[in-house]
Structure 1
Amino acid sequence: MTYHQIIQLKNGVSCCLRSGTAADGQAALDNFILTHAETDNLLTYPEENTLTATQEGEYLQAKTESPNEVEILAIVDGKVAGTAGINAVGGCYKLQHRAEFGISIAKEFWGLGIGQALTAACIDCSRKAGYAQLELDVVADNASALALYKKFGFVEYGRNPKGFRSRNTGYQELVLMRLAL
């Protein structure tokens, strides 16, 4: 899917939200490594990434060409500040109505409205793709993320007390959330 929007951040700076392309591979990969090093709330650690910049670019291009999946980059002053996307849960009939949502933002850009804008963009794309449900998992201690998702209407439908195993804090509880579209 393709997406493009210019927004104004809380600090008055413009931010471009757009679909990633093959040319964005290195910048998106650099952002992935950075964001996954800055917080313990994401699925993987930076060194667990196995993609090269070329492979990351191919991933982004495939999402842009997909009819029902997207990866949106938030660009501030020419730099990838964050990414968010939707992925189909599955292709079989019983799963075609569900998509998963994921997001990460570089720490220097926290609190500027990028998370809210990327979330809204992914919800919009999910509706356009025809999904009936958007899902996510969030670390229970991540109060700001929980507040954001609740603001958009996501509701909790379960918890996994040992959903993540952190190198720093041990097990982390995951809150399972869904949004009816």
Structure 2
Amino acid sequence: MKYYKKIRLENNMLCIIRNATIDDAKSVLENTKIIREETDFLLSYPDEINFSVEEEEELLEDKENSPCEIQICALVDDRIIGLAKISAVGSKDKVKHRAEFGISIEKAYYGKGIGTALTKACIECAKTAGYRQLELEVVAENKNAITLYKKFGFKESGRNPRGFCSRYTGWQELISMLLELD
């Protein structure tokens, strides 16, 4: 799936929101590690990112050629500073209407409108792909993310009090949220 949009951030910086391509593989991996060093709210730690550049290239090529999945990157000054994606929950008839949504942004770029732009892009892509429901899980302490999701109409659908077991803080409650697209 392809996507491209230029936006002006709240600090008047130019940000390009587009699908990641195979040429971005190294930068996507670098950004993934940076963000995982900055937060304990994501699924994995930097030392658990063990994709090779070649494996990431293959994954990005699959997403770029997919009619229903996408990896989106946010670039400022030609550097990837955020990522978002939509992925099919499954291909069986009972679940093919559902997609998972994920987003991550470097801390230096929090509060500048990038989360809003990435979320909006993923919702647009999910609708274009024909999904009827977008889903995510978020750590309950991640209040900024929850506020962002609610702004777009995501609603809480459940909680898992032992969803993550953090190396640093112990149990982290996960909130499941969903957005109906039809």
TM over 0.5: yes
Q: Deviations over 1:47-96 (max 9, x none)?
A: 11120122112211211100000000001001101000000000111110
User: How far is 1:44 from its partner?
Assistant: 0.3
Letter in 2 for 1:107: K
Paired-residue identity, %: 52
1:57 corresponds in structure 2 to 57
**Structure 1 consecutive aligned stretches of length 4 or more whose deviation exceeds 6 Å:** none
Gaps of 5+ in 2: none
The alignment's C-alpha RMSD in Å is 0.6
Q: Distance in 2 between matches of 1:49 and 1:113?
A: 27
Give the stretch that moved more between structures: 1-10 or 57-66.
Answer: 57-66
Whether 1:46 aligns to 2:46 is yes
Q: Distance in 2 between matches of 1:58 and 1:8?
A: 31
1:114 corresponds in structure 2 to 114
Q: Deviations over 1:8-53 (max 9, x none)?
A: 0111110000111111000000000000110000000011112012
Size of the aligned set, in residue pairs, is 181
* Helix, strand or coil at the partner of 2:94: helix
Normalising by structure 1, we get a TM-score of: 0.99
Whether 1:87 aligns to 2:87 is yes
Q: Deviations over 1:118-169 (max 9, x none)?
A: 0000000000000010000000000000000000000001000000000111
1:69 corresponds in structure 2 to 69
2:101 corresponds in structure 1 to 101
